[in-house]
Amino acid sequence: MPDARTPAQIEADIARRRQELAVTLDEIGVRMHPSTIIGDAKAKVASKVDHTAGRAYVAANRVVSEVRSRFVTEDGSPRLERIVPVAMVAVGVIGLLTVSSRRRGRG
């Protein structure tokens, strides 16, 4: 079947395809530009950091809540039967570290 298009239609089609090709090449140029690649990489890293930080925050919040629940009752009053032994151990460790550092300082 012979092509029934006129030369003007063919020229218009060629011009349209050239324009489409120019737009495609411009898009490729923008995508491949170093600043675009760097920007995309920064965005991906920022997204990963935000995601990781969010997960870390949730995990830390969970740990803090668990520790708090061991030393404070549901109504908010302290559980002295658990706080006093921990405080005594902490004071003992600090005392041992102080004595140890003083002995090393003299030697």
Q: What is d(CA 34, CA 86) in angstroms, rounded to the nearest whole number? A: 57
Amino acid at position 35, single letter: S
Q: What is d(CA 89, CA 94) in angstroms, rounded to the nearest whole number? A: 9
CA 48 to mean position of chain CA atoms = 4
Q: What is d(CA 22, CA 39) in angstroms, rounded to the nearest whole number? A: 24
Q: Is the pTM of this model over 0.85?
A: no
Q: What would the pLDDT profile of 35-56 be if each residue is shown by its tens digit?
A: 999 999 999 999 999 999 999 9
- Does the structure show a pLDDT above 70 at 62? yes
Q: Looking at residue 24, what is its pLDDT?
A: 96
**Quick one: pLDDT band at residue 2, thresholds 50, 70, 90?**
low
- Does the structure show a pLDDT above 60 at 14? yes
Q: What is d(CA 88, CA 82) in angstroms, rounded to the nearest whole number? A: 11
Q: Looking at residue 103, what is its pLDDT?
A: 86
**Quick one: pLDDT band at residue 105, thresholds 50, 70, 90?**
confident
